[in-house]
Amino acid sequence: MKPVVGVVGPCAAGKSTLIRNLAGRGYRLKHIAQEHSYVPDMWQRLTRPDVLIFLDVSFAESNRRRPMPWRQRDYEEQQRRLRHARQHADFYLLTDGLTPEEVAERVAAFLEGLGLQPEGEP
């Protein structure tokens, strides 16, 4: 069985889009909604990923991508809740200015560098 790749980050960082893009290539990915949990290590408790990817986004870019009724302090609270996951991430990527395809390619390159291949490949 292929390793589980967990994906965390604040709202509008591109987590769901990345998972759709890479799942189509055969990776086993899990979205971890750590940004909504007050338990710092909930990402470990729920998923126990073999690899943790942290996608980040600035407050301004998150509002451009998905206008939400939130303020800077709401964004900062999500960042606080994500601190533990960010510290333990195997790969960190700020997605500002990147297309979904560029994000997927950078994460796929990292996973391949670890020797992880999509399902169905040796």
- Domain residue ranges of the chain, discontinuous segments joined by +: 4-98
Most confident of 19-23, 27-31, 54-58: 54-58
- Answering whether pTM is above 0.75, one says yes
More confident residue, 43 or 49: 49
pLDDT of 64-83, one tens digit each? 998 878 899 999 999 998 99
Of residues 110, 106, 83, the one with CA closest to residue 95: 106
